[in-house]
Amino acid sequence: MDTVATTIAGALAYVAVATLTGEPPPNTTAQQTNQNETIRAEMFWGGLVGSGITVASAIWGFRTTRKCREYVDEKSTKDFFWLTPPSP
């Protein structure tokens, strides 16, 4: 999920940067232009911060999962019966 969220947030930031190069239509007022620039800036910074947070979360999740799998592999090769509950 973190990888998907990172991709979406990164795409949002990319779209904001990609739309900066366009010229506004000739009948656009200054207020509309400022509002559009504000929206682009919010999209860019939101996407950048969001992707940074989700990248950190994904890295932490991948490392934790790897450590858990290594632990289970180590335990299962040493003592197979640690996975079964003790008999009463």
pLDDT: which is higher, 69 or 28? 69
Q: What is the pLDDT of residue 75?
A: 75
- The average confidence (pLDDT) of the chain is 84
Q: What is the pLDDT of residue 34?
A: 85
CA distances from 38 to 45, 67, 78, 88 (A): 11, 43, 60, 67
User: How many helices and strands, by DSSP H and E, does the chain display?
Assistant: 2, 0
Summarised one tens digit per residue, pLDDT across range 52-82 is: 999 999 999 999 999 999 988 887 766 666 5
- Which one-letter amino acid corresponds to residue 33? T
Query: What is the spatial distance between Cα 4 and Cα 25, in angstroms, rounded to a whole number?
Result: 34
38 band by pLDDT with thresholds 50, 70 and 90 = confident
